[in-house]
């Protein structure tokens, strides 16, 4: 039994709450709180940050990335008063708050609860934030609005309590009824994608199911079809059954081989399907017709909604980091020009829905939109960066600063990056920046230059979701961060058949920091 399984066997993560309250009330020094207790606090979304001793990250739960202007204001106020005045929008349509003290956590959670936000089971071996389409209910092309279903799954998960609080490892889940695969289902442990089938002589809309996607670690995998079609009302029972099968049968001995993909590697999809059928005590239909048409765009810019005379406006958040003042302004814009609602995207941006035609000009003239641009150059539009080493002890590099500087350099040079080009930056092998599915992916590394250890990156190219999906291929290792702008410029030119004055290797041959992958 590895140490994490021993920890959970000793005490369920949900049972740490009284201890968390006690440590907060007594302001217990971090060095006096055991490692197991600190890990159990992650069941409540509370993460100690070792590189900033004594401070904690709080990971919220925002199902489908939806929140109200009231919730946004409270998050902004907490970050301003108790944190460092910024929060991160994540690739799970979520928010992470930084630099909180343990003594502050109970009060923060109470304030968030008062506006309908919580952080329960957002870390460790739990089901993480449920993601969906940020345009659910307003996309004129969607098969159906999956919002009620997404909320039903989230509620079923929370109602399950300890029945779902001790999984072999985490589960990532997406549910989207749109045709654009906004949940990037192929990257999820469980992905519900829109589909249709004929039942009793009529066409019925529902979901096909993908399983086993996971990008972190040394064996990334894209999700594969389970050959199942579900009517919407069958999704929650199926979800509970599948999670139960994984909980009871998933491998636990080796921590790095405990995700759902490893159970599938052992069993195969057909056996997993049969096990879910047995738990449901009902046969499962074979998969229907996949109704996905494309992989989601960046959701930026001005677009008409299905509601006549209404629009949604997608605003770009550079590398996903936003200040309290900007959050307050976003809340004001949502109230003044929309319906007091905001939606986060998996590309770390924000959508303001329900903007009337008559209000568009005034919204676009708002000063905030000069920074959070609705139509930034293409190099910014699908740029994703994980937290980085300023707040994550796993990350080997400052991902957000390097990603920001990289895009700024390419924009300044006027490099024409084709729209839709995905540049993804991860700080480590955990791949929170999803570099394995980027057109260009960077994974943090460290190199030694003389007596100094410097930041670098391994380079991946060719990741793709959707039809003919593939993981990116590693082509270069240990590229010094100072060389990344010229390298990415060359890759963009090569990849999209623009004029290339020199090859990538020639551009970098004098840096002495580069190793080519055979």
Indicate which CATH number applies to the domain containing 89. 3.90.480.20
Mean pLDDT confidence for 368-372:
98
Q: Is the pLDDT of residue 135 over 50?
A: yes
Q: What is the mean pLDDT of residues 210-233?
A: 97
Residue 507 has pLDDT above 90, yes or no: no
Tell me, yes or no, whether 370 and 388 share the same domain: no
Does one domain contain both 286 and 151? Answer: yes
**What is the mean predicted confidence (pLDDT) over 400-420?**
92
Q: Return the ∠ at Cα 370 (arms to 79 and 97), rounded to 5°.
A: 15
How far apart CA 491 and CA 410 sit, in angstroms, is 12
Question: Residue 25 domain-assigned?
Answer: yes
**How many Å apart are CA 326 and CA 31, to the nearest integer?**
35
Q: What is the pLDDT of residue 516?
A: 44
Domain range spanning residue 443? 380-516
Same domain, 343 and 418: no
pLDDT confidence of residue 296: 84
Q: Is the pLDDT of residue 145 over 80?
A: yes
List 49, 59, 61, 73, catalytic entry: 59
What is the arithmetic mean of pLDDT over 467-491? 92
pLDDT at residue 262 is higher than 70? yes
Pair 395, 512 in one domain: yes
Q: How far apart are CA 56 and CA 142, in angstroms?
A: 39
Q: Is residue 129 part of a domain?
A: no
404 and 417 in a single domain? The answer is yes
Does position 451 have pLDDT exceeding 50, yes or no? Answer: yes
Q: Is 433 one of the catalytic residues?
A: yes
Domain assignment present for 463: yes
* Tokens (6 digits) for 133: 């389409």
| Beta carbons of 206 and 146 less than 8 angstroms apart | no
Instruction: Report yes or no on 339 lying in a domain.
Output: yes
| Active-site residue flag, 309 | no
Q: Are strands 383-385 and 423-426 parallel, antiparallel or unpaired?
A: parallel
- Specify whether 165 is located in the same domain as 266: yes
Q: What is the layout of strands, in order, in the sheet containing 423-426?
A: 383-385, 423-426, 440-449, 452-461, 473-480, 515-516
Last residue within a domain, chosen from 355, 376, 397: 376
Active site residue 201: no
* pLDDT surpasses 80 at 500: no
In this predicted structure, what is the pLDDT of residue 509? 47
Contacts of 217 (CB under 8 A, 6+ apart): 256, 259, 429, 430, 431
Q: What average pLDDT score do residues 395-422 get?
A: 93
**How does 402-438 read in b/e, with b if 16+ C-beta sit within 10 Å?**
bbbbbbebbeeeebebeeebbbbbbbbbebbbbbbbb
Annotated catalytic, 427? yes
pLDDT of residue 1: 85
510 — pLDDT class (breaks 50, 70, 90): very low
Give the containing element (helix H, strand E) for 114: helix 105-114
* CATH number of the domain enclosing 211: 3.30.413.10
Same-domain pairing of 192 and 284: yes
C-alpha pair distances (Å), 224 with each of 38, 69, 259, 268, 419: 35, 38, 14, 10, 28
Q: Among residues 45, 250, 433, 463, which one is catalytic? A: 433
> What is the per-residue pLDDT across 371-389, written as a single tens digit (0 to 9) for each?
999 999 999 999 999 999 9
Residue 502 Cα distances to 8, 352, 481, 512, angstroms? 55, 43, 19, 17
Asked if 394 and 370 sit in the same domain, the reply is no
Residue 58 belongs to some domain of the structure? yes
Instruction: Identify the domain boundary among 376, 394, 415.
Output: 376
**Distance between CA 348 and CA 241 in Å, rounded?**
31
Q: Is 170 a catalytic residue?
A: yes
Whether the Cβ atoms of residue 399 and residue 385 lie closer than 8 Å to each other = yes
Residue 133 located in a structural domain: no
| Shared domain check, 254 and 209 | yes
Q: State the Cα–Cα distance between residues 498 and 287, nearest whole angstrom.
A: 42
Catalytic residue among 388, 432, 434, 444: 432
Residues 320 and 439 in one domain: no
Whether 132 is in a domain gets the answer no
Q: Which of 169, 261, 292, 493 is catalytic?
A: 169
- Among 125, 105, 96, 118, which Cα is nearest to 30's? 105
Predicted TM-score of the model (pTM): 0.94
Is 131 inside a domain boundary?
no
Number of domains in the chain: 3
Question: Same structural domain for residues 371 and 398?
Answer: no
Residue 442 has pLDDT above 90, yes or no: yes
The pLDDT of residue 360 is: 98
pLDDT, one tens digit per residue, over 28-75 is 999 999 999 999 999 999 999 988 889 999 999 999 999 999 999 999
- The neighbour count for residue 160, using CB atoms within 10 Å, is 15
Looking at the structure, tell me whether residues 440 and 492 fall in a common domain: yes
Residues 238-267 have a mean pLDDT of 97
Over the stretch 2-25, which tens digit does the pLDDT of each residue have?
Answer: 999 999 999 999 999 999 999 999
Q: What mean pLDDT do residues 351-357 have?
A: 98
CB 58 within 8 A of CB 104: no
Predicted local confidence at residue 269, as pLDDT: 98
Determine contact, residues 333/82, Cβ cutoff 8 Å: no
Q: Which of 427, 438, 444, 463 is catalytic?
A: 427
Which one of the listed residues 8, 40, 170, 493 is annotated catalytic? 170
Block residue for tokens 């009824």: 177
Domain finish residue from 290, 307, 342: 290
The confidence band for 151, taking pLDDT boundaries of 50, 70 and 90, is very high
Contact 78/114 with Cβ under 8 angstroms? no
């Amino acid at each position: 039994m590895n140490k994490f399984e021993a920890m959970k066997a000793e005490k369920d993560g949900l049972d740490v709450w009284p201890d968390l309250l006690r440590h907060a009330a007594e302001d217990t020094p971090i060095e006096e709180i055991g490692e197991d207790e600190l890990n159990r606090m992650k069941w409540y979304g509370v993460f100690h940050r070792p590189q900033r001793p004594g401070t904690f990250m709080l990971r919220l739960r925002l199902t489908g990335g939806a929140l109200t202007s009231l919730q946004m204001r409270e998050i902004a106020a907490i970050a301003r008063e108790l944190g460092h005045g910024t929060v991160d929008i994540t690739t799970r349509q979520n928010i992470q708050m930084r630099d909180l003290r343990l003594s502050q956590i109970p009060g923060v959670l109470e304030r968030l609860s008062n506006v309908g936000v919580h952080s329960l089971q957002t870390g460790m071996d739990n089901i993480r934030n449920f993601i969906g389409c940020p345009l659910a209910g307003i996309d004129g092309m969607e098969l159906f609005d999956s919002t009620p279903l997404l909320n039903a799954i989230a509620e079923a998960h929370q109602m399950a309590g300890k029945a779902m609080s001790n999984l072999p490892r985490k589960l990532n889940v997406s549910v989207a009824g749109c045709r654009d695969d906004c949940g990037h289902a192929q990257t999820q442990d469980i992905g519900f994608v829109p589909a249709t089938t004929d039942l009793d002589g009529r066409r019925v809309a529902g979901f096909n199911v993908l399983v086993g996607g996971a990008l972190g670690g040394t064996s990334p995998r894209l999700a594969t079809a389970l050959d199942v079609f579900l009517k919407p009302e069958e999704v929650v029972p199926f979800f509970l059954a599948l999670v139960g099968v994984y909980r009871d049968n998933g491998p636990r001995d080796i921590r790095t081989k405990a995700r759902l993909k490893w159970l599938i590697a052992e069993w195969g999809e057909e056996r997993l399907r049969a096990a879910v059928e047995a738990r449901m005590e009902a046969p499962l239909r074979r998969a229907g017709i996949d109704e996905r048409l494309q992989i989601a765009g960046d959701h930026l810019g001005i677009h008409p909604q299905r509601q006549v005379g209404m629009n949604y406006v997608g605003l770009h958040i550079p590398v996903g980091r936003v200040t309290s003042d900007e959050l307050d302004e976003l809340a004001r814009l949502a109230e003044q020009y929309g319906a007091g609602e905001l939606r986060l995207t998996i590309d770390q941006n924000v959508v303001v829905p329900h903007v009337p035609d008559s209000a568009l000009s005034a919204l676009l003239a708002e000063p905030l939109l000069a920074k959070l641009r609705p139509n930034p150059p293409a190099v910014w539009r699908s740029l994703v960066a994980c937290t980085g080493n300023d707040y994550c002890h796993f990350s080997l590099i400052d991902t957000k600063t390097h990603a920001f500087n990289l895009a700024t350099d390419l924009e300044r040079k006027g490099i024409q990056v084709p729209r839709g080009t995905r540049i993804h930056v991860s700080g480590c092998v955990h791949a929170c920046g999803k570099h394995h599915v980027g057109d260009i992916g960077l994974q943090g590394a460290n190199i030694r230059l003389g007596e100094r250890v410097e930041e670098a990156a391994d380079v991946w190219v060719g990741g793709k979701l959707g039809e003919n999906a593939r993981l990116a291929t590693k082509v270069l290792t240990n590229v010094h961060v100072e060389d990344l702008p010229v390298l990415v410029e060359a890759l963009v030119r090569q990849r999209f058949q623009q004029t290339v004055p020199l090859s990538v290797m020639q551009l970098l041959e004098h840096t002495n920091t580069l190793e080519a992958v055979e």
